[in-house]
Each structure stands twice: as structure tokens, then as C-alpha cells.
Structure 1
């Protein structure tokens, strides 16, 4: 009798030819993970320079991951985004440091504090539209550029208390920083080395230094002037740990860089995808704008909420959630050793036909027809490390989209109307369309 292959061993073994897998993932990350998930759950992924990861794409796996004991899981190191956010970032910190930082920042990014930004979000959107569509402008409007402009000014208001705070300087610095961290630098750490000042890594470190110079200048000004308006910078400056120490300037740079970059890039890419799908579905666009015509943009509508949720389902801005085990643990039926990295493939979770019929279809009504099953929808992660800015991102997305749809009519370019659907590719901190999403103002 012929022995049967051990399918469990096959699906949890890191793939061979890791560099080729990294290139395939860089070209179309979501499709790559879906292909790997077809081998079973959990499934293994391995890229050069990073430890192998066991991924799940099921609600049951997500439940186990998010309910893991807090001391048992920590962010993996090396981490793909560490060069961008820094070792002290809330995204990468752990233990008591993470608990203290999160406890301080979370209240400022939830509830009334977020709602208080509503008028700023609306007014910023109107101003950006007037600049992009006003007299004297010509050429198509790049949705990602427009979205970045809006979300950057909103997060600067949250961090510094004013959207006018050197926005022109931060605009160039943040854009250069985001654009410099290319997909190859994200997925292949071997490329993170200098080449006489002219290589991709050199361009990135130069852009990071430029952004940090702006941040350090503002930190020094605030220290000298004293507390401002109770903004996020004030909160970070007030943090004191159990031993009485405060955040160093280097740590403050990491936290501020995380807030400013992650706090606007993920929302900007989601807004870009929402505009793309709405303008590919004229009937849905008409329904959405008709409902918004009688609503306050700061309140939105149920259909608008569903549009935003469906966008996050199809295009989770951060497509993977990673954790490294600090002790042995049994997960998904496997006995894993300390040091093993495990994760959730969010796009795989969001595309399971058993949960989401016709998963590749953009169909917001699915969020109106029935409640979301537990652990089947995780665009902001979950558990004790769920994105601390999720409430702000959710609210900002709805207000910006409502304001935009009721302020201006956009006409998609022919390439957008008739062309293929863009792929979602990893780009700096978020997954974004692999080509420009462009519109022209309708007359």
C-alpha cells in the first residue's frame, strides 16, 4: 500500500525559492496569499530576510490569534515596516511599554475627541476639492494624491492642534518618505544597504531624516512653549513610565512618524478604493448620493457605512496581522515553539465564499442584509493590539466620502471606466492600487 503524503507538513513548510515568492507577492500580494491559502489552513509563507510565518485565513484562526494571552504574543522582529515607524512605535512596542503608550493615546483617538474633528475633516475636504477642481486647474485628478492631502491635514490637526501647522513643509517631506519606501525595500531586507548615497535605501534614509528634522523642531518648540491644546503631541510629552522616565526625542520621533504616516496613508488608500468602486457602479453611486442629499455629512447614512465596510473588506489597508510567540503554544491544531511567527491573512479571511458569497464582487448591501459573523471581518486587526486609530479612520473615511460626493461630481477617466481592475500591491505602510485612479470634474 502506497503511503499517502503528509498534507499538514506540506502546507506548513516554508515555500522553496523564497525570492521568487517575494517577487510574486510584491506584484499582487492579495492573489499570492489566496494561492498559498488554497493549500490548506494554516499555510506557510517565507521571504528572504524574514522568519517563516504560519498564516490563517479563517474566522476560527482569527479568534485563536486575537484571544491569545497578552504575554504570549509580540510583534515580530525584524519587521517589514520597522524602518518606517521605528522600534519605539506603538505598532512594534510590547509589554508594559505598549500598555502605557496605548492607555495614554487611545482616549484621544476615540469617542468625543474624534467627533470633535468632524468639522475639520469636512472643511479640509472642501478646501482640497476647491484647490483640485477650482478655476485654473486642468488635467485629471489623482484620487490618491487628493486623498493624501485631506488625510494628512486631518492627522496634522490631531497631532499638532492645527492643520495649518507647516503643512506645506510636511506635505513634501511625508510624500517623499512614503514614496521612498518602495515595495522591494518592504519585502527584501537585503536591499536595505547604502550604495554610495545613490541607491533606494539611501533615498529612503535621506527622506526619513528630512521628516525627522521637522518633527524634532516641533518637539523642541513645544517643550519650550509648554502644553498646547491637548493634542497628541501634548499627550506624548506627558507620558511617564513606572520608573519615572519619559519618551526620548528619538522615541517621540518614532511615535509621531507612526501617527502622521500610518494615520493618513491607510485612510487615503481606502478612500481611493471607495471612489474607484463607486464610480464603476453608477447605480450604486446614484443611490449613495441620493441618500446623502438629505443627511448631514458628519452623520452619514447606513448605505454609506456599508460602502465603507465593503471597501475595507475587499481592500484591507494592512493586509496581514503578525505576532511572534514568546512561549510554546498550540494554534490551529499545531504545537508551535517559542519564536514562531503566526499571522492572519486579512484578505483571505475577507474572501471566503462561505462567509462572503461572490467575494470578489463589490456589493455593499451584504452589510445591510445581515450581521457580520464574529471574527470574519478584521480590517483593523483585533485583540489587544487592534489599530488604536481605527475609530478615527472609520469616522474620517465616512465624513470625507460624504462631503466629497455631495460637493462635486467626478467623471472617471476612460481608462478607469473600461480598464481592468487595478491590483492591490504593498506600498510602504498600506496596500494601494498598482496604477493611478483618476477623475475629471463633471461640468
Structure 2
């Protein structure tokens, strides 16, 4: 591609291309790269054109770019979900300040304290204490519903310390309604974000967001009145101070907490579903992982599980094939060159994670689910980047990694599953946008062959 050419060769039927990308992201982006090479432009109606790359060298250029040159794109598809004060959308000095405030909550030493919360949350769901049926022999379960219930229970405990069943049920119903109200069209077509006499999709979303904000505001007020004990993430944020000694405002805290609730459960839930699906499509891989778990003991401590090498490899391979957030987008604040293409302030650049994670120059047999590859070598941050990279890498990545390992191990230690026939034989489900993450276009169901109780 000519580096002097800055006008993107946008397809004439941009809307049709955008729809194809929304329906089958992976195939669309692979088709564009095969047709035009790397990098290539994609136009999103309402958001403009973005220059995408999917190579290791392109990832290196993007992640090593000067901090002051890159910023989140605005308008942003997820801004109504997380809010303009969210760490995800913060820019410049504001981003550095907010990240320094949030980072201690996700330090690896603190993450280990969440291990029992994760294990207990999985067990509660398997026992029928969540949104779905109990995972007993003969039951058919929807993995997506169960995974969301597990990860939402975990993040509610980690953020708010919620143990009261009534309050947790209230939060769960409110968060689910909030996420459901933010449909794909609202996310991808900003023109739809307007009131229709108080009864349109945008009105319903705003009402759902207001209900969630009311819950969060009530917890903030109660915690400020009762004092902070440092027991959960909310306590930590209330006690934290910026470099100038000031505390976070209630309005900004609300949006950071809303971000943690949304991003802190949807992405990990999606990864858990894909891990279960992939394992049960490959009996030999599942058998090897079960053997490793059996060697550790059915009731091994979470920290011991997190160190198991094949479990780690399975989780990494799942994230390679199914990164929950498949694109990284940045708006330029000054001149920048990506893949030989000269760009300027206001232009948008992006990294297509599925392309990076299937680059044949990096990955042998990239379409195969082969956890062994992660036992054979370590992949660098410009080859494997499921949580992004550079100074904007996901601050919650340590918790997401830890939670995926403990949750997957706990499920496999408790139950034996079989994919429902339609999923066992059919092609791999399409991955489509679900609010802040992408995941299977429909729930994936399993049949429970056998289950054991905790005491067995």
C-alpha cells in the first residue's frame, strides 16, 4: 500500500460491509486482508474509517507508539455503557491518573484473595443457586447463562463485597437488563440514540442505566457514611487519592464501578464458554486436562490450580482463538505511520486481534485448537495480545486470567459434560458483538453426564 496515499479505499457499499463485519467479524477481516493486504481501511457508518493491521510488526508499531499520539476514538461505540469518565475512554494525563487509582485493586497479590470467591461462585451456580438449573446428571445447561451468572457473582463480591442474596439478586437483574437494553444497533448506529416519545430502544436503555446507577450511588453513599475498611474494590477506591491528594468524585466513581461491572464479567464469561466448547469438541485435549486436574486433587486450592501448566495453556489457546475484545481502536492526535501508511491527527488506527492471533508467520496451523503450542514456547506481547497492549493494556487482565483458570478447573472437577448434539457436530458458532465483548451468537448448551458434590 502506497505510504503517500491517505484517502482510504472505502468500499462503495459501506453499510453492507459493516453488517458483514458485525455478523462474521473473523471471516470479513480475513477476506479484506487477503484481498488488499495489510494494513487496510474499514469504514464504520457513523464512526468513520480506520486503518487496520493484523501483523506482529503492526502490533509493535501500535503498542510502542508514543503515549501522547494515541487516544480512544470518539464518538465511541461503548461510551453509553461505561461513561465518558471510564478508564477505557480516558485520555492523556486523565488516563494515567485513573489507571494509577485502579491498578492496585488488580495487583497479583490481591488477585489471589479472590480465588475462594471464584471457586465458591462456580459451586453456587452448579448447585442451582444462580440463574440456571442445578448441574445434576441428566440436566441440560446453557453455558452462556451460567458463565455470566458466575462471573457477575464474582465481580459483585470483588467490587462491593456483596454477600446478601437479595441485594445480589437485585444487582444481577439490573445489570442483565442494562446490558440487554444496549442492543447491537444502538452500539453500532449512533443515529438511533434518540428518544421516541419515551418508549424507544434508547429510552429503555437510559431507564435501565438509571436503575443501575441508583444502586451504585446508594452503595457509594452508604460506604462513605459508614467508613471504608479496605475489604473490597469500592473501599480501595474510596480510600485512594490522586497525586494532588484529592479523592475521586462520586460521579466519576460511579462510572468506574459501572465499567468494572460490565467489563469485569462479560469478557471472562465469554472466554469460559469458549473454553468449555473447545475442550468438549476435542476429547483428547479434555482428557489431558482432566488428568492434570486429577493429579492436583479434586479440591486443590485455587492458587495451586492457577499454576497448572496445561490448564494455563488451554486458557491461553482459548483467548488466542477467541479474544473477547477483538479489535483495538485508537484515534491519532498527531502524525503517525502504520504499516507504511502516513496518517495524521484525527485519523483512526486499529489492531484486528483475530488476524494477529492467526498470522501464519507466528502460529503453526493457526486454525487448530492446540494448547500444546503454549507449552513449547513463549509468545511475545506483539504476537499474543488478548487484552490489548502498551500503556492501555486492560488493567483487569490479571483478574480475568485468574478467574478463567479457577472457574474452568472447578467446573471440570465437579461435572462431566457433553455438548448438545447440535453443537457437537455443527460448525463453530459465529462470534458476534455482545455489548462490550464478542461471543457466540447464541447460547451453547451442554448435557450433564455426571456430577459430584463438594463432599465427595
| Alignment check: 8 A CA contact 1:121 1:399 kept | yes
Corresponding residue for residue 129 of structure 1: 126
Q: CA deviation at 1:261?
A: 0.9
What's the C-alpha RMSD, in Å, of the aligned pairs? 2.1
My pick for the range that moved more, 250-259 or 187-196, is: 187-196
- The answer as to 2:13 corresponding to 1:17 is yes
| Alignment check: 8 A CA contact 2:101 2:242 kept | no
Corresponding residue for residue 315 of structure 1: 322
SS in 2 for 1:92: coil
TM-score if structure 1 supplies the norm length?
Answer: 0.94
- The answer as to 2:345 corresponding to 1:349 is no
1:158-169 aligned within 5 A: 158-164=158-164, 166-169=167-170
Corresponding residue for residue 431 of structure 1: 438
1:56-135 aligned within 5 A: 56-131=53-128, 132=132, 134=134
- The answer as to 2:337 corresponding to 1:330 is yes
The count of aligned residue pairs is: 439
Aligned partners of 1:79, 1:135: CA distance in 2, in Å? 39
Structure 1: 5+ residue runs without aligned partners? none
SS in 1 for 2:418: strand
Q: Which 4+ residue blocks in structure 1 deviate beyond 3 angstroms?
A: 5-12, 132-139, 162-165, 238-246
Q: Deviations over 1:303-357 (max 9, x none)?
A: 1111101110000000011111111123322221111111111111011122112
Aligned partners of 1:135, 1:265: CA distance in 2, in Å? 21
Corresponding residue for residue 420 of structure 2: 413
Q: Say which of 366, 370, 384 aligns to 1:377.
A: 384
Q: CA deviation at 1:161?
A: 2.4
Corresponding residue for residue 261 of structure 1: 262
| Alignment check: 8 A CA contact 2:3 2:341 kept | no
| Alignment check: 8 A CA contact 2:321 2:354 kept | yes
Q: CA deviation at 1:248?
A: 2.8
SS in 1 for 2:52: strand
SS in 2 for 1:294: helix
1:268-283 aligned within 5 A: 268-283=269-284
Q: CA deviation at 1:361?
A: 1.5
Aligned partners of 1:138, 1:441: CA distance in 2, in Å? 5
The alpha-carbon distance between structure 1 residues 137 and 160, as it changes in their structure 2 partners (threshold 3 A), is farther
Q: Deviations over 1:194-219 (max 9, x none)?
A: 22233222222221111111111111
The alpha-carbon distance between structure 1 residues 6 and 342, as it changes in their structure 2 partners (threshold 3 A), is closer
The alpha-carbon distance between structure 1 residues 135 and 240, as it changes in their structure 2 partners (threshold 3 A), is closer
SS in 1 for 2:439: strand
Corresponding residue for residue 227 of structure 1: 228
Q: CA deviation at 1:420?
A: 2.2
Q: CA deviation at 1:148?
A: 0.9
SS in 1 for 2:48: coil
TM-score if structure 2 supplies the norm length?
Answer: 0.91
My pick for the range that moved more, 384-393 or 225-234, is: 225-234
| Alignment check: 8 A CA contact 2:137 2:448 kept | no
My pick for the range that moved more, 215-224 or 32-41, is: 32-41
| Alignment check: 8 A CA contact 2:293 2:409 kept | yes
| Alignment check: 8 A CA contact 1:122 1:400 kept | yes
